[in-house]
Amino acid sequence: MATPLSADRLVEVLRNEGLRVVEHRSWRTHNRNHKGPWGPVHGVMIHHTVTSGTASSVELCYNGYTALPGPLCHGVIAKDGSVHLVGNGRANHAGLGDGAVLRAVIGETPLPVDNAADTDGNRYFYGFECVNLGDGQDPWPEVQLEAIERVSAAICRAHDWSQRSVIGHKEWQPGKIDPRGFTMDALRTRIAERLAGDSEGPVKPPTKPPTKPPTKPKPKPKPPVSYEPFPGAAFFAPGRRSAIVTAMGKRLVAEGCGRYAVGPGPTWSDADRKSYAAWQRKLGYTGQAADGIPGRASWEKLKVPNVR
């Protein structure tokens, strides 16, 4: 059982996960709370809009239509990865679904087949509509899939949930097909990796060679060099200002991975991300593991000097 996040807290956790958040009109007070309770919340539900275009999709999800008034979700995830918040509270997105599925989400156990419509999902789930025609042909850009992953992980992190608290509409309500074009199991795998804190995989502890007792007095050793500990992937959000970012940029330049026209400076920018992606590729990472967001393994190999 979890109390729904306040509007301020929702914005905070999404931005801390590195997302570009757009607050649409009066979303903070826009809800269907007069039609029933909102909370306790137990999970996140993913949908597709069956529309194209960001502006029109956001307006539709904010306003709804005659048969189904808005908000139709809490946020709209556009193809460019931006997240447009349209509701705060109960929203018309989940409808009636299978109570057995809800119990599995609460228990974070494998989902049963949804074959009933006996439980009010609008009360218990955050809902996010993702801009896609849902015809199996409309592509899902990687930046949009990453945003869906980040939104889900941010809310799970805030409530101390696992990836099993994220489901698709098609897993909740019989007859639904959304989201279509990717599998929920694949999405949950990505969320699990993000919640683990490092998409690059676990860091293996270094093997320490055996030491021999000294045979003669040695000069007093120099103080050990101190390096910045890994601050977590969420630290590297757009606009973050820190001396750590400057120190990281200087190390990237020293490693031949700098992609700066000017700088580096203290504000995390697209140039920092491109430079860090070059460092990840230099280490042998590819694909999603070279997305320019620092992970623990690559960070410890970069050896950023301590600035505190």
Structure tokens at 176: 């639904």
What does pLDDT average to over the chain?
91
The pLDDT confidence band at residue 263, using thresholds 50, 70 and 90, is confident
Structure tokens at 63: 């306003």
**pLDDT at residue 198 above 60?**
no
108 Cβ contact list (under 8 Å, min separation 6): 161, 162, 164, 165
User: Which pLDDT does position 225 carry in this prediction?
Assistant: 72
Q: What is the pTM of this model?
A: 0.66
As a whole-number percent, the residues of the chain with pLDDT over 90 amount to 79
User: Which pLDDT does position 238 carry in this prediction?
Assistant: 87
As a whole-number percent, the residues of the chain with pLDDT over 70 amount to 91
User: Which pLDDT does position 202 carry in this prediction?
Assistant: 40
For 14-50, what is each residue's pLDDT tens digit?
A: 999 999 999 999 999 999 999 999 999 999 999 999 9
217 Cβ contact list (under 8 Å, min separation 6): none
**pLDDT at residue 13 above 80?**
yes
Spans of all domains in the chain: 7-195, 233-302
- At position 132, the amino acid (one-letter code) is N
Smallest CA-to-CA distance from 279 within 270, 268, 291 is with 291
CATH number of 7-195: 3.40.80.10
Interatomic CA distance for residues 191 and 148, integer angstroms: 9
For 127-160, what is each residue's pLDDT tens digit?
A: 999 999 999 999 999 999 999 999 999 999 999 9
**pLDDT at residue 294 above 50?**
yes
For 202-260, what is each residue's pLDDT tens digit?
A: 433 434 445 566 666 777 666 677 888 988 988 998 888 999 999 999 999 999 998 98
**pLDDT at residue 59 above 50?**
yes
User: Which pLDDT does position 208 carry in this prediction?
Assistant: 46
- Least confident range from 176-185, 197-206, 264-273: namely 197-206
User: Which pLDDT does position 211 carry in this prediction?
Assistant: 58
The pLDDT confidence band at residue 306, using thresholds 50, 70 and 90, is confident
Structure tokens at 26: 């009066």
Smallest CA-to-CA distance from 247 within 283, 291, 294 is with 294
The pLDDT confidence band at residue 307, using thresholds 50, 70 and 90, is confident
